[in-house]
Structure 1
Amino acid sequence: MNTNTPPEELTGNLVVKEPFDDAAGLTAIVQSFKHTLDGTGVSRGWTSLVNLNQKDGFDCPSCAWPDPDHHRSPIAEYCESGAKAVADEIMTKHTASPVLFQRYTVDELLQKTDFWLSQQGRITQPMMVRPGEKHYLPVSWDEAFSTIASHLNDLDSPDEAVFYTSGRASNESAFLYQLFVRMFGTNNMPDCSNMCHESTSVALADTLGLGKASVTYDDYAKADVIMIMGQNPGTNAPRMLTALEEAKRNGCKIISVNPLHEIGLIKFKNPQSPRDMLIGGEKLTDLYLQVRINSDMALLKAMCMILLEEEEKTPGQVLDRAFIEKYTSGFDAFKKSLSQFSLNEMAAQCGVPLEQIREAVGMFRNTRKFIICWAMGLTQHRDSVDTLNELVNLLLLKGSIGIEGGGASPIRGHSNVQGDRTVGVWEKPKPEFLDSLKKVYKFEPPRAHGLDVVKSVKAMHEGKVKTFFGLGGNFVLAVSDTDFAAEAMRKLKLTVHVSTKMNRSHLIHGETGIILPCLGRTDHDYQATGAQFISCESTTGVVAQSHGVVDAVSKDLKSEVAIIAEMAKATLGNSHSHARRNLSPLPANVTTAEFWDAFVANYDRIRDGIEQVVPGFDKYNERVRVPGGFYIPNGPRVREFKTSDGKAHFTVNVPDTHTLQPGELMMMSIRSHDQFNTTIYGYDDRYRGIYGERRVVFMHKDDIANLGLYDQQLVDLHSTYHGKTRTAHKFLVVPYNIPRGCAATYYPETNVLIPIDQVAERSNTPTSKSVVITITPVGVREAVTM
């Protein structure tokens, strides 16, 4: 058995049914309560759910979809995905106590499924596996921090350590984390943004001056047209469906662009609407454009070309000329570049009939209140940055930036992944941010750019990095090229993971491995000055407070803030360490311990630091206490573009052409409805009609026939890159409504197929959504051809 990737055994329980007719509804209610009550008691479960996403409650640990600015449901401001995430965290019927780790060796745990690992419950004590040992054993917090400090201080350079961050970290813990890491002396701060929306951050920063959404929550209700690209909100951000439903009932038209037909884009039955429950849900999509995988730029370019055609027919009636002339640059070059393309070529490339593209353009031809939202379906390809540049071109033509009801809206995948970046978790910090750190905390931060996720894995594999510290996440399964990443982790001297629950990355460790169990979003957090709260930033830039509401499952847990501070004290708490890293002495009569302990005692002091360092956080402690939080400044939202020339930029982009050889398919990885990122809640994907199994490959029925395969045949998947073939074993073929030449599989099972070097240009994001594969029946070595 391969001990790097999840077990390759099938459950033997696959049942394929017709996909659901609508998203959410009564089934979502039943599933939400089932998951919650299966893991804990009624009182604890109800207390958690009723406080989820409330203004005086806690922020959902799942997606980053914003809370409504005004009215919120008093009892159910959450979705099925959020309820599952909370149920996973508050579980009390099982705990991953030292007894569990004593019962199983690390190798035996590696043979368990990721679902099984997650179901063991919360980790209750610090655990350590030492060189040559087969079991994780309990360890005191002091010994854990002493071991970490010893390893860090023995490095030849701070750059031999990597400090990863998951989106789950709060603003407070993320800011304190980056402060420690930069005091330690490195910018090696990869984070989960590197694997998901980094292409968004690069493209929007270049074209609009800010890598964030330019819309507010209320803009959705005021839009005339919303185009959803490369996103499946029914599974990945279900609460977004409520906003889409409100928009539809206000007269908005919705265009959906996706290779798969996803029920969450088609129809929504609001569980809190008596009307929906009695007479049926709201139809969401008015026009569904089923593009081929990674052909979105061709579609967007065709839309731009049609708009310019229409403008020539009726000058001044289609484009927003006043906006273009006053607020943008590069229009003439962009317009000229379109002459090298033909509409028929672009339509053929994306696989959408030209008449459908014209129909879509007709829907937003005469309005500026036009929102385009997107997720990883657009960000995880080689040409993702250019594709998003073309998306911005389309919005700029319409003047749909900086107006009510219009704008660019990336849908972030993990709660507070955006906030972490805002408060300084980035391997490429801006000079002005480092200058502020220097001014406030009296030390010289490192200036050289650090390592992102992909570069970190390569550096670990090459022996250039010796220590990995992970603040949350499941690094090995989240990154591409799973076997390569596992080999890299096993070459390290030390791996440390701050976690709530066990995952596979804990089991793929360095010579020494440490797990530090932390409080979750749902847990009460009591420190020296009393109960503390944290804050998070939503995908629309709202910063709001979050309070734990239940007691932690173990008294041995520490908050992320406390863990970071204790690690900093142990690592930086001696004169040798300060002198080695050119740290200035602390203020008179203040010891290293006192400096860090003050942050733990009262999180207001961390927020004071954020206010002094990060623009837009004026009166942070005052404003974050206002129910619902506050919007941080957003230049594009008010037509202030912090680009090189102070204007929004039109860009010239050339679509990639994807020529598949006989027998090849373009594969994208997707989530099932029973997972969040790498966390698996179960084996059902009811919206797509899949029950009891995850190792499936969705294909067009004609591709199945032409490859000589059959429904539910057992096959292996292969990808070849630079002469090396990677294989994902044992998948079942499932016919599905997907374009010819395309395939879809669940991740992380097929991350093994994505080469570490196959990344998006400029953003270095793994190309998880466009992997060329071949398929062989199990037991057959050569790929069959069409």
Structure 2
Amino acid sequence: MDRDDHARQRPDTPFYDHASGGWGSVRGMAEVLADQKPTPGAIRTLMRQNKPGGHMCTSCAWTKPAEPHLFEFCENGAKATIWDLTSDRATPEFFAAHTVTELRGLSDHDLEKAGRLTHPLRYDHATDRYLETSWDEAFAAIGAELRALDPKSTVFYTSGRASLETSYLFQLFARLYGHNNLPDSSNMCHETTSVGLKKVTGSSVGTCILPDFDQCDLLLFFGQNTGTNSPRFLHKLQEAKERGCRIVTFNPVRERGLVEFTNPQRPGQMTVREPTPISDLYLQVRPGGDIAALAGIIKRVLELEDREGGVLDRGFLAEHTTGFDDLAARVTALGWGELERESGLLRRDMQTVADLYAKSERVIGIYGMGLTQHVRGWLSIAMLVNLLLLRGNIGRDGTGISPVRGHSNVQGQRTVGITEKPELAPLDKLKEMFGFEPPRDKGMTTVEAAQGVLDGTVRGFVSLGGNFARAIPDNDRVEEAWPRLALNVQIATKLNRSHLRPGRSSWLLPCLVRSEEHREATGPQAVSMEDSLSMIHGSLGKRRPASEHLLSEPAIVAGIAKATLPPNPQVRWDDWVADYAVIRDLIEATWPDKFRDFNDRLFTPGGFHKGNAARERRWRTESGRAEFTTPEALTSLGHSPEGEEMTLVTLRSNDQFNTTVYGYSDRLRGLEGRRDILLINPEEMGRRGWAEGQAVTVECALDDGTPRAVHGLRLVPYDLPDACVVAYYPEANPLVPLDQHDELSHTPAYKGIPVRLRVAVG
């Protein structure tokens, strides 16, 4: 295998001509420091980040080691903390100087750059401004509005930053109020994991823990951009490479973090030593082509078994799985030409990966939103599980399936009851503990909540963090409907676009960030969260709050709940907010198997594992076994491009976290200065007679009677598969119809939308 052939980006397109990490990461952090001018002590705060007894990063959900590095933060984690600790303030005077209509003209970056919110605010229709209010007034008015609404016409949304303690209170409030409308940011990213993995392994989360990465022989990456989205993971990848582990990456975009890495914590490598090569093989699969690529690998593995024997783990298959014969028959019948066409890969490359797999004793499959955000994303995940099951690569040390979550506690929120699916919530236990009858009907997903805003069935919206109106598909259409809401409550740290389409009654409630001290009646409080590897970590903020008028998220949730709900002697909001340890006792009482001795283990170095049945080869599926899935389709796209159509993939820049845009440098892709761009293969540009920098209009090619277009994107030639274009999220979200989502989970298909391009006029 010639690694260079697969690691080299074509020189006639923009690219970053350095390793990920290194001095580039240092410069990226320095630029945000200079831009935000954080309050004194920011560096000291970063030195405590992701360490036992310190605060847990609000950026990615990658796990925290028991023995941390000197600097246990990455470039994006540092940016997130510095962004929180800015010296800028969005005070009542700021809002007095700007109408909401004026603020809508600012970019996402400039809205948040206004600084930390300092006071509770209410929207005044007469002046088109947010005005200072008191917490008592806000809670009383919100409570009165909620009491006047049908609970089932309201949505309680959660971003992935809220702690386990806050999330537990929020879901309890929703159910005491009378609904299960509890979508969270998982609905937009990894809900496909929760549904897809649950279907085939019986576990809704991945099976790996950190020591598995010290023992694996082969890592298979699908649609996950480690260099930007979870850079601390690169330390484990570097260590794996140095002990001889092989790494194969499947991604339409050549992401620098999975090509090579310079470790900023190794002075020798920062100065004179060469970067560490990461991927042995980097295969630019076409969007939606992962199913066909995995089918090709499985086909070759089965051929090797027929020819040589001893490749499959026959004992594991017989004892632990079902459905193998159907899968084998289907894959064996597939032709290589069809697999090459659908995957965009060569037969020899799929065979090379299969040969590596057949010779590897311990294999881990890793994936991100490149698999989950498709119409058949669940099938892509099931196919990866199929491959792992063939050789018993789930339930042994050094093996497993490992989705990498993007938001810091999005997985944990689901663990403690933030779910619209009543069957996943401990409703009987909540009934017993709190003396009420929980609602049993299914709640709304993110897509259904957005549709409800459009059609008027959603009347009230309470958002615990996040930027829902900007993050969702079809966001232009939904944003226009937002003012029809009777109630819009936004709990936030900074200003964003979801705050600028106020409803009849609108409130902006500022909260503490994770690195700030949460001081309640019994003193400073710790919070907790769960990472991608199912480890639970305590987090203790020590920074002085940005304003004396801020409240913690638990205090805000409790304040609204008390103003809304009738008294219940078993529901003690004041006691819970006074001492978060009491909330953790409630969590332990609700899930004693996952949270045994919660408070005693809160600051366990490296966290404590909540357990995973599939890791122990206990399969909580319908069959009681791990289930092979026979693919009826070879693409995860809902609509394959035809003729001049292309497939749009949306992605985030290196200077971005979700909808938060720190700046305009997408350094690791060699792109600088602007976000209104469309990446396209140079051959596609040439075939159409287009030139670099030309303005184009991108139109959704799905014909549902609603025109969708984004105008004025500038063409940039880029190293991409044929018939593929790439644009930034959330700017391209208007092109994604609400009904283009994963078949099982309703996760929006941000990574595979058919589009047409035309030269912009004027």
Q: TM-score, normalised by structure 2?
A: 0.96
Say whether the 8 Å CA contact 1:674–1:685 is kept in structure 2: yes
**Is residue 259–residue 292 contact of structure 1 (8 Å, CA) maintained in 2?**
yes
Conserved in 1, the CA contact under 8 Å of 2:645 and 2:701? no
Tell me the CA shift for residue 656 of structure 1.
4.5
Once the two structures are TM-superposed, the CA of residue 643 in structure 1 deviates from its matched residue by 1.2
> 2-side partners of 1:85 and 1:477: how far apart?
19
Q: Which residue identity is paired with 1:603?
A: Y
For the 8 Å contact 2:32–2:79, the answer to whether it is kept is yes
- The DSSP-based 3-state class of the residue aligned with 2:345 is coil
1:55 corresponds to which of 29, 52, 57: 52
Q: Does 1:242 align with 2:222?
A: no
Name the residue aligned to 1:772: 754
SS of the counterpart of 1:469? strand
SS of the aligned residue for 1:451 comes to coil
Is 1:465 matched with 2:458? yes
Report the counterpart of residue 752 of structure 1 in structure 2.
Answer: 734
Deviation at 1:17, TM superposition (A): 5.1
CA distance in 2 between partners of 1:110 and 1:221 (Å): 49
Superposed displacement of residue 104, structure 1: 0.7
Which residue of the partner structure matches residue 633 of structure 1? 611
Describe the SS at the equivalent of 1:365: helix
479-488 or 281-290, which deviates more: 479-488
Gaps of 5+ in 2: 1-12
Query: Which whole-Å CA distance do the structure 1 matches of 2:323 and 2:126 have between them?
Result: 61
> 1:431 Cα shift?
6.3
Aligned-partner Cα distance in 2 for 1:573–1:432: 23
Corresponding residue number in structure 1 for 2:82: 87
1:680 to 649, 661, 672: 661
Match of 2:41, SS? helix
Q: Which residue does 2:326 correspond to in 1?
A: 333
The gaps in structure 1 that reach 5 residues or longer are: 1-15, 575-584, 781-786
Q: Distance in 2 between matches of 1:724 and 1:463?
A: 18
Map of 2:598 onto structure 1: 620
Deviation at 1:42, TM superposition (A): 7.2
SS in 2 for 1:464: coil
**Residue-by-residue CA offset, 1:215-247 (whole Å, 9 max, x unaligned):** 011211211000110011111111111111111
Aligned to 2:206: 213
Match of 1:608 in 2: 585
The 1-side partners of 2:550 and 2:39 are apart by: 23
Deviation of residue 340 (structure 1)?
Answer: 3.5
Q: 1:26 — aligned with what?
A: 23
User: Given the alignment, which residue of 35, 43, 46 partners 1:46?
Assistant: 43
Aligned length: 744
Q: Partner of 1:286 in structure 2?
A: 280
Aligned partner (choices 694, 697, 701) of residue 720 of structure 1: 701
1:152 aligns with 2:156: no
Secondary structure of 1:724's counterpart equals: coil
What's the CA shift for 1:688? 1.1
Amino acid at match of 2:713: F
User: What does 1:488-499 align with in structure 2 at a 5 Å threshold?
Assistant: 488-499=481-492
Once the two structures are superposed, what CA deviation does each residue of 1:367-418 show, in whole Å capped at 9, x if it has no partner?
A: 2410111111111111111111111100111210011111100000100000
Distance 1:339 1:291 in 2: 21
Q: Which one-letter code corresponds to 1:767 in the other structure? A: A
Higher mean C-alpha deviation, range 236-245 or range 410-419 = 236-245
**Alignment partner, residue 599 of structure 1:** 576
What SS does the corresponding residue of 1:508 show, helix, strand or coil? coil
In structure 2, what is the equivalent of residue 190 of structure 1? 183
Taking the aligned partners of 2:671 and 2:425, their CA distance within structure 1 comes to: 50
Is it true that 1:450 corresponds to 2:443 in the alignment? yes
TM-score, with length taken from structure 1: 0.93
CA distance in 1 between partners of 2:521 and 2:694 (Å): 60
Q: Is the 8 A contact 1:36 1:83 kept in 2?
A: no
Q: Please tell me whether the aligned partners of residues 457 and 488 of structure 1 are also in contact (alpha carbons under 8 angstroms).
A: no
Q: How does 1:98-177 map to 2 (within 5 A)?
A: 98-155=92-149, 157-177=150-170
The correspondence of residues 264-275 of structure 1 with structure 2, limited to 5 A, is 264-275=257-268
| Conserved 8 A contact 1:491-1:510 | yes
Q: Deviations over 1:675-719 (max 9, x none)?
A: 000000001111111111011111000101112210111111111
| Structure 2 counterpart of 1:642 | 620
Counterpart secondary structure, 2:707: strand
1:586 aligned to which of 560, 569, 588? 569
**In the TM superposition, what is the alpha-carbon distance from 1:734 to its structure 2 partner?**
0.4
Give the CA deviation at 1:37: 4.9
Please list, as runs of the form range in 1=range in 2, the aligned pairs for 1:319-358 lying within 5 A after superposition.
Answer: 319-358=312-351
CA–CA distance in structure 2, aligned partners of residues 112 and 276 of structure 1:
41
- Partner residue, 1:11: none
Q: Matches of residues 408-427 of structure 1 in structure 2 within 5 Å?
A: 408-427=401-420
Answer yes or no: is the 8 Å Cα contact 1:37–1:45 preserved in 2.
no
Cα separation, partners in 2 of 1:41 and 1:567, compared to 1, 3 Å: closer
Q: For the Cα contact (< 8 Å) 1:123–1:501, is it kept in 2?
A: yes
Cα pair 1:715 1:776 within 8 Å, conserved: yes
Which of the numbers 62, 72, 78 marks the counterpart of 1:77?
A: 72
Identity of matched residues, %: 39
Q: 1:434 aligns with which of 403, 417, 427?
A: 427
The residue type paired with residue 749 of structure 1 is E
Between the aligned partners of 1:17 and 1:738, the Cα distance in structure 2 is: 11
Q: Does 1:304 align with 2:298?
A: yes
Rate the CA distance shift 1:131–1:432 in 2: closer, same or farther, 3 A: closer
**What letter corresponds to residue 658 of structure 2 in structure 1?**
N
CA distances 1:714-738 after superposition (whole Å, capped 9, x unpaired): 1111113213321111111000100
Cα displacement string for residues 310-339 of structure 1 (whole angstroms, at most 9, x for unaligned residues): 111122x21111111111111122222224
Q: Deviations over 1:237-275 (max 9, x none)?
A: 111111111111111000010001111110000000123
Instruction: Tell me the alpha carbon deviations over residues 513-541 of structure 1, each in whole angstroms, 9 at most, x when there is no partner.
Output: 11100000110110000000000000000
Q: Judging changes above 3 Å, is the alpha-carbon distance between structure 1 residues 620 and 18 closer, same or farther for their aligned structure 2 residues?
A: closer
Q: Does structure 2 conserve the Cα–Cα contact (< 8 Å) formed by 1:152 and 1:571? A: yes
Q: Secondary structure at the match of 2:620?
A: coil
Taking the TM superposition and a 5 Å limit, the aligned residue runs for 1:526-605 are: 526-573=519-566, 585-586=568-569, 595-605=572-582
